[in-house]
Structure 1
Amino acid sequence: MTSQETAAQPEREIHYASRGSSYYDVILAVFCVVLVVSNIAATKATEFGSGDLSLGPVQIWPIISDGGAVLFPLAYILGDVMSEVYGFKAARRAILVGFGTAIMTFATFLIVMKLPGASFYENQEAFESVVWSGLQIVAASMIAYLTGQFLNSWVLVRMKARSAEPGLFRRLAGSTGVGEAADTLIFCAIAASAIGISTGGQFVNYFVVGFVFKCAVELIVMPVTMLVIRLLKDREPSYWA
């Protein structure tokens, strides 16, 4: 390619909006709620198949997952939106704020558990069982969450640095695959005993199914994610500035 041809090509610019925006505040608030609710839902025990899994995974025939999988993929979708529109620093801020809210939530449960119950309260033992099992689950979730979300955001912004505005679908799919793989593997490795996983087969089942399910959800809703990103880019005055 000659120097004249290179000069004729339009320069690819990388754009990000300022995080001092009401849109960013709303996304951040929803992101924190999704994280907190997902951690609580992860302690849900449900069984729709054979076996004796006492606490944690939701099992539907051969499929094993945790209750948090119902909502948690939304955290990665919101993470993608923040990383693409507002940049890595804004996504990092959301990740750390979400981490703080989740820790505060579980600390509150611990304090409430230690408070003396009313004389007619009959569920103290069940409450303690869920909270104490949640300790291991929250630890696993937080380590997996920090690793997965940071990888997801970092991969997306690095891919954007190479392609600029074009290639949005590739960025979203690529960052999702990396982030969800790390998140699911770390969570399963740390929380296995708390959610009833005791064999290698169950571990592999949990990881593969969890990873495929989360990625599938994000891929299915990706047209909506891309639409939201485009709308935000058009509505944020600072994005194209």
Structure 2
Amino acid sequence: MQDTPIISQSASDLTGRQFRYYDFVMAAFVAILLLSNIIGAAKPAALTISGEQWIFGAGILFFPLGYVIGDVLTEVYGYARARRVIWVGFAAMLFMAFMSWVVVALPPAPGWDGQAAYESVFGQVWRIVIASITAFWAGEFVNSYVMARMKIWTAGKHLWSRTIGSTFVGQGIDSLIFYPLAFWGVWSNEQVINVMITNWLLKVGWEVVLTPVTYGVVGWLKRKEGVEIFDKGTNFSPFKTKV
């Protein structure tokens, strides 16, 4: 399929426009968000590096991909369309939490001995669920806002500065909300702070490592969609869904 010539446009000039790959990027974002929370969050993992053991939540290997896709959404489709995707992800996380609670609470059938294992994987501490959903919502919106603003400030140049800078701030907000809200008073104060800082730096490090991938995906999507969107005149309120 022939690429469409890229035209720089204000996001407000593209209200109601349909894009070829927007829905696919949205689906990838929501899928990674849910799977990293379902599959990865329940398992603590440990790696030995230079004789020192590092313990981390397994979900950290894949959860940062959501921020990478969030960067792609804002860079290619603008803040307003990224905002819609964040709300879709937020709603999906709420439903996932509700469904997990209902399924775990249902009495098991006679003869089925998997309830304990099921509860250990899908049973949720509601304090952690609330912390996770709140941190995701705030972190993703901050990430998208910084990304959109920096694109205007840099005149669309230096994509790496926007992806890394927005993730640095967005993941910082995410970690600053999640770990104290989920574990303050459960872990020692020192442990909460150490894990919060370590995981924040690991997530930003992932963004740096994946920068070449981000460049490739962003460049391909821009060529296919044929636009270079700048969020001039955009209403940055998170409490809107209109594009």
TM-score, normalisation: structure 2: 0.80
The higher-RCO structure (CA 8 Å, 6+ apart) is: 2
Q: Is the Cα–Cα contact under 8 Å of residues 14 and 164 in structure 1 kept in the other structure?
A: no
Cα deviations by residue, 1:88-141 (Å, 9 ceiling, x for unpaired): 111110100011111111211111122221212223234335444343322111
CA change 1:63–1:94 in 2 (3 A) is same
RMSD of aligned residue pairs (Cα, Å):
2.4
The structure number with the bigger radius of gyration is 1
| Pair 62,203 (structure 1): closer, same or farther in 2 beyond 3 Å | farther
Asked if 1:144 corresponds to 2:135, the answer is yes
| AA matched with 1:215 | V
Residue in structure 2 matching 1:233, options 218, 222, 226: 222
Amino acid at match of 1:149: E
**Counterpart of 2:32?**
34
Task: Note if 1:97 corresponds to 2:88.
Answer: yes
Matched residue of 1:116: which SS? coil
Aligned match for 1:166, one of 144, 157, 166:
157
User: Would the aligned equivalents of 2:45 and 2:55 in 1 still touch at CA under 8 Å?
Assistant: no
Distance 1:74 1:19 in 2: 27
Partner in structure 2 of residue 55 of structure 1 = none
More strand by share: 2
2:106 corresponding residue in structure 1: 115
- 1:167-186 per-residue CA deviation (whole Å, 9 max, x = no partner) reads 21211111110001111121
Aligned amino acid, residue 198 of structure 1: W
Q: Report whether the alignment pairs 1:85 with 2:76.
A: yes
Distance 1:167 1:96 in 2: 28
CA drift of 1:202 comes to: 1.4
Report if aligned partners of 2:86, 2:140 keep a CA contact under 8 Å in 1.
yes
State TM-score, norm by structure 1.
0.80
Give unpaired runs (5+ residues) of structure 2: 1-7, 230-243
Query: C-alpha separation between the residues in 2 aligned to 1:106 and 1:48?
Result: 29
Shift of 1:62: 4.4
Question: For the Cα contact (< 8 Å) 1:65–1:209, is it kept in 2?
Answer: no
Cα distance change of structure 1 residues 14 and 61 upon mapping to structure 2, 3 Å threshold = farther
Rounded to whole Å, the distance in 1 between the matches of 2:121 and 2:182 is 14
Which of 97, 100, 109 is the aligned partner of 1:106? 97
Structure-2 change in CA distance of 1:46 and 1:231 (3 Å): closer
Letter in 1 for 2:35: V
